[in-house]
A and B are shown apart, each in its own frame.
Chain A
Amino acid sequence: MPDRMKHRGDLHGIAIALLLVAVMTVIMVAVRHYVQPTNRSVIYLIPVIAAAVWWGVLPAIVAALAGIVSAVFFFYPPEYSFKVPAAPQIVNLGLFIVIALVTGRLATAVRAQAEAARKRETEVRELYAFSRRLATAKAASDIFAGIQEHLANLTQRRAVLFEGDAAEPVDVSQRSDQQVPERVWAEVTRYASGEVQSESGSVINDDNGHIWLIRHVAPGTGAFGVIAIDLGHASDAGIDEVRGRVDEVLADAAATLDRLDIARVIDDARMRAETETLREALIGSVSHELRTPLASILGSATVLCNTPTVIGDERLGALAGVIRDEAERLNSDIQNLLDATRITSKSIKPLQQWVEPSDLVNAALERRERRLSGHVVTVDVARDLPLIYVDAVLMEQALVQIIDNAAKYSPPGSVITVTARREGSEVVLAVSDQGAGFTEEERGRLGERFFRGERHLATTPGSGLGLWIANAFVTASGGELEATSGGANQGSIVAIRLPVVREAILQLEGAVDE
C-alpha cells in the first residue's frame, strides 16, 4: 500500500478508537456503582484490542493513552480530576499500560498472520483453479486463455497474451479477437519478431495515455508467448513500482508454468487435436471409398440370386446368398463407422417431426427382416399410442442397432419381442431377447464407444459401436436409452423412452376438427 493510503487508514482507525473510548466511558459512568473503582480501567482494554486487530499499532497506542486519561479523570479518586493520588492506583495504571501495549502488539501480529494466510489461500485456490483448467484443456488455445486469465488475476491488470512457444514464434494474428490499441499491437509484433531486444520488456504509451508493458511471459525464452499488460495512467516513479511488481509476479508465474510442464501440455493438446481430426477424416473417407465397390458387390449378388441358373442349383444359390448377406453386413458396419464419425464431430442435427410410433417399429423390423429370419419375432404395438415428436430416421436407426444387438447376442430360434407402449408421459419402444444379457459391470459400460463384453470377444464379431450409436441418436432426439438385464445369459431388454409432448395433443385435436 502506498504511504499516503496507510496514513489515511491510521487516521480513520484513531478516530474510531477514540470514539470507542468515549462509548466505553459513557457505559462505565452508567454502571459505575456496580463496579469496583480499581477494575473500572479494565474496560478500556476493549478499544485497545479492537484497534490493534482492525487498524494496527498506532491506533492501539492512541486508544491506550486515551483510555488511561479517561480512567484517571473519570474513575480514579478524586473523580473528575487528573490527579493520581495513591500508589496502588499508579501500579494499576502502569499494569494497564503494559497490558494494553502487549495485547495490542499480539493482536496486530495475529491480524498480519491471518491476512497472510488468507492471501496464501486465495493464491493457492487461484493456482488450483488454473491447474485444473490446464488439466481439462482440450486445445492449446484453452491453455493460453487460462494463462492469460491467470496472469491478469495475479497482476490485477488487464493482460493480453499472444500465443507462442519456443519452436513457433508468436503469431499475432491468432488473437485478433482481443481489443488491443493499434500502437500496442505494432509494438507486440516488433517485440515478438525480435526486432526489439530487451530482456525486461518494452514500455509504450497508447493513444489514451495508458502505459503498456510488453514482454515475454518467461524472460529469455518465447516459451509461453508475449504478454501485453495495461499498467494504466501513472507517473514514471509509479510505473517503476508497478513494473517491479509485475516482474516479480511474472517470474513466479513462469516458474509455476515451468513446474506444471505447460509446454508439454500445450504440445500434447495440439497433437491430440490433430490426431483426432486425422482419424475421423480417415474413417470418413475410407468408409466412403469402401461403399462404392460394396454397392457393386451387393447389387451383383442380388442379381445372381435371381438368375435361373443359380436358383436351379442349390449350392450356387447358397453361395450367392452368402455374398449378398455378408455384403449387407459389411454395409451396416461401414454405416456404423460413418455414424460414429458423425456423432464425434457433433454434426447430428435432429429433424424433429410428428411420427407414428408403429411406423418406427415396422421400418426397423423390415430393414432387419433377413437378419431376424433365424429368430422368432413377436411384435406388440399398442393401439392409439400418441404421436411422438422425434427425428424419425435417427429413431429408426437406433432401433435397428438395438434389434441387431438382440439378434447377435441371442441364440437362433429364441424369441425377440419388440413392443411399443405408453408409460405415463412416455412412449416406450422396447426390444427384449432371451440371449446373453449383461452383468451389472457390463451394464455400466454399455454406453462406452467400442465397449464389448469380455465374454463375447472370441465368439461374436462386432465393433462395440451399436448401443453407443443408439444412445447418441436417442439422446439427440430428446429421448433416453435404458438397458436392463437379469444378469449374464438372462436375456436383456433395451428400451427407447420418448417423451409425449403435451402441445402435441392440443395441436392434434385442432387438426382432427375438419
Chain B
Amino acid sequence: MNSDSPVVLVVDDEIQIRRFLRAGFELDGFTVEEADNGANAIRKATLSPPDLLIVDLGLPDMDGSEIVQRLRAWSSVPLIVLSVRSNEAEKVRLLELGADDYVVKPFGMAELLARGHAALRRRVTTSTGEPIIKSGRLTIDFGARLVTIDGDRVQLTPKEYRLLQVLAQHTGNVVTHQHLLKEVWGSPHMHDVHYLRIFVRKLRQKIEVDATKPQILLTELGIGYRLAASAPEPAPSEKQIADS
C-alpha cells in the first residue's frame, strides 16, 4: 500500500466484520490495521497512531464507552463507533465522550466511509484552521463571517451564525443537541431542544431551497444535527495532497 495513504485501525472481535471492513477501506485507498479487542486496540493506537479509528462497542474485554474514554484521554484521532444498539441515549453518551460519529450495525460500507471521511476532514480543518467550509450550495467564510448560497450573501442573526459555525466545525459528522445548545445558548439551556428546533427551522428557511426537504442542514432523529458533507467525497489521497 501507498505509504501516503491514511491508516485506519479497525477494532472488532468478529473476524467476518474485520474482513469486509478491510476490503472496503482498502478499495477506498486506506491502509488497514486490525485489533480484536480493546487492549490490543489501545496498544496499537499508542505505538503507531492511526489516522482513523473504527471501534465496535461489543468488545469482549472492554465496554465501548471505556475504550472511547481511554483513547480520548490522550488522543484526538478521528473515531467512529459501531453500535448494534439502536439506543439513542447510548449513542448520545458516546458522542459526548468524544466519538466523532456512529454507525448502527448492520450498515452499508458507503455510509461508514462517508462518516470516516468527514471525521478525517474535521482533523484537517481544525489543524490547518481552514477558513472556508463548503456544504453543497452553502459556503461559510469564517474569516469574513460570511455565509453565501450559490454566491449570494445570507443575512444571519448572531445565534444562527453561531449554530451554523458549530455544525460546520464537524461538517459531515453528527453534532448532539446538547453540544449545540451548550455552544450556542450556554449550559443552562442544555435541555431546551425546542430552541434548536425553532432556530434550525429559521436557518433552513434561509439556506435551503425547500425548508421541509433539507439538503444541507440534516436531522439525526433523537441525536442531533449534521451539516451535509459536500458531494462528491474527495478521495483521501487527494486530501493528503491538499494537506501537504
Interface residues of A (CB under 8 A from B): 291-300, 302-303, 306-307, 324, 327, 331, 351, 353-356, 358-363, 379, 381, 383, 387, 391-393, 396, 504, 507-508, 511-512, 514
Do A296 and B20 have beta carbons less than 8 Å apart? yes
Do A356 and B200 have beta carbons less than 8 Å apart? yes
Do B27 and A381 have beta carbons less than 8 Å apart? no
Kindly list chain B residues whose C-beta atoms are within 8 Å of the C-beta of A358: 211-213
Given A295-B14, A393-B222, 13 more pairs with CB closer than 8 A: A291-B106, A293-B16, A298-B107, A300-B19, A302-B108, A306-B109, A307-B27, A361-B212, A363-B221, A381-B212, A383-B212, A511-B194, A511-B195
CB-contact partner of B198 in A391, A393, A508, under 8 A: A508
Q: Which single residue of chain A is at the shortest CB-CB distance from B18?
A: A296
A317 to B159 alpha-carbon distance, docked (Å): 48
CB-contact partner of A306 in B84, B107, B110, B201, under 8 A: B110
CB-contact partner of B106 in A299, A359, A393, under 8 A: A299
Q: Does B233 contact A (CB under 8 A)?
A: no
Q: Does B57 contact A (CB under 8 A)?
A: no
Q: Does B152 contact A (CB under 8 A)?
A: no
Number of A-B contacts (CB under 8 A): 104
Do A511 and B198 have beta carbons less than 8 Å apart? yes
**Smallest CB–CB gap between B30 and chain A, Å?**
13
Q: Which single residue of chain A is at the shortest CB-CB distance from B104?
A: A295
Do B108 and A383 have beta carbons less than 8 Å apart? no
CB-contact partner of A351 in B27, B88, B159, under 8 A: B88
CB-contact partner of A303 in B23, B86, B200, B222, under 8 A: B23
Kindly list chain B residues whose C-beta atoms are within 8 Å of the C-beta of A295: 14, 17, 84, 105-107
Kindly list chain A residues whose C-beta atoms are within 8 Å of the C-beta of B236: none
Q: Which single residue of chain B is at the shortest CB-CB distance from A297?
A: B106
CB-contact partner of B197 in A299, A302, A354, under 8 A: A354
Do A299 and B88 have beta carbons less than 8 Å apart? no
Size range of the interface on B?
A: 35 or more
**Smallest CB–CB gap between A42 and chain B, Å?**
85
Kindly list chain B residues whose C-beta atoms are within 8 Å of the C-beta of A361: 212
CB-contact partner of B192 in A298, A299, A302, A511, under 8 A: A511
Q: Which single residue of chain A is at the shortest CB-CB distance from B108?
A: A302
Kindly list chain B residues whose C-beta atoms are within 8 Å of the C-beta of A514: 157, 159
A210 to B57 alpha-carbon distance, docked (Å): 62
**Smallest CB–CB gap between A340 and chain B, Å?**
15
* 5 sample A-B contacts, Cβ–Cβ < 8 Å, listed by A number: A296-B14, A296-B20, A298-B108, A355-B197, A381-B213
**Smallest CB–CB gap between A14 and chain B, Å?**
78
Interface residues of B (CB under 8 A from A): 14, 16-17, 19-21, 23-24, 27, 84, 86, 88-89, 105-110, 157, 159, 192-195, 197-198, 200-201, 211-214, 219, 221-222
Kindly list chain B residues whose C-beta atoms are within 8 Å of the C-beta of A327: 106
**Smallest CB–CB gap between B156 and chain A, Å?**
13
A293 to B20 alpha-carbon distance, docked (Å): 12
CB-contact partner of A299 in B21, B200, B212, under 8 A: B21
Kindly list chain A residues whose C-beta atoms are within 8 Å of the C-beta of B214: 362
Do B221 and A396 have beta carbons less than 8 Å apart? yes
**Smallest CB–CB gap between A306 and chain B, Å?**
7
Minimum-distance CB pairs A-B, first 6: A296-B16, A302-B108, A295-B106, A354-B194, A381-B212, A358-B212
Do A356 and B23 have beta carbons less than 8 Å apart? no
A110 to B195 alpha-carbon distance, docked (Å): 77
Do A351 and B23 have beta carbons less than 8 Å apart? no
Q: Which residue among B194, B197, B213, B214 has the maximum number of chain A CB atoms within 10 Å of its CB?
A: B194
A450 to B193 alpha-carbon distance, docked (Å): 37
A295 to B83 alpha-carbon distance, docked (Å): 11
A303 to B25 alpha-carbon distance, docked (Å): 9
Kindly list chain A residues whose C-beta atoms are within 8 Å of the C-beta of B201: 356
Do B194 and A387 have beta carbons less than 8 Å apart? yes
Kindly list chain B residues whose C-beta atoms are within 8 Å of the C-beta of A331: 106
Q: A295-B17, A303-B24 are in contact. Are A359 and B221 (CB under 8 A)?
A: yes
Q: Which single residue of chain B is at the shortest CB-CB distance from A514?
A: B159
Kindly list chain A residues whose C-beta atoms are within 8 Å of the C-beta of B84: 291, 295
Q: A295-B17, A354-B197, A387-B197 are in contact. Are A392 and B221 (CB under 8 A)?
A: yes
